[in-house]
Amino acid sequence: MTNICIFASGVGTNAEAIITHFANHSDIRVSLIISSRQDAYVLERANNHHIPSLVLDRNAFQETSELLESLKKFNINFIVLAGFMWLVPSYLVNAYPKKIVNLHPALLPKYGGKGMYGSHVHKAVIAAGEKESGITIHYVNQNYDDGAIIAQKTCAVASNDTVDSLAEKIHDLEHEHFPKVIEAILTS
């Protein structure tokens, strides 16, 4: 059995899509949700699906490896970052080599790096006059949005797109493709 831990910082729509996708899977399940915020709605989603959850303390996350004990307790062997805003520390990347994936709301290497998340990304894409945007699913290393690319899915950027309308297109791509790409990684 592959046990997934989802790290999220916000509402958790991608977490919900992943949980739903694997709900009846015989070999893969979401076994733990970890959030960087006590008030993140993703924790309610975890509760609704009877999935255990933890809230991280930023200093402990960055400076100690106590999180590894929690991951071991839940037999976690794959980590998915789904709207998780903190940089993953080296000890965690080293403990899970090529076992941590992230979803970025743009076509990397463009529009990635520190501070490039959510509406900031969509605003930059529109301001640059891009005709195409999309999502990038990549392995995580010690740098923001820098790991090897696993998959990219695209959508057109219309001349009348707003930050909100582009965000909606990107969310549709995320919900459709992220769970499928995770499954492909875990079953290949």
- Residues 108 and 87: their CA atoms lie apart, in Å, by 17
CA 82 vs CA 113, 122, 123, 129: distances in Å: 16, 17, 20, 27
Task: Please tell me which residue in 104, 122, 138, 177 is annotated as part of the active site.
Answer: 104
Reply yes or no on whether 104 is catalytic.
yes
DSSP category for residue 20? H
CA 97 vs CA 10, 91, 129: distances in Å: 25, 10, 36
CA 141 vs CA 102, 120, 122, 124: distances in Å: 10, 22, 23, 24
Q: Which residues are part of the catalytic machinery? A: 104
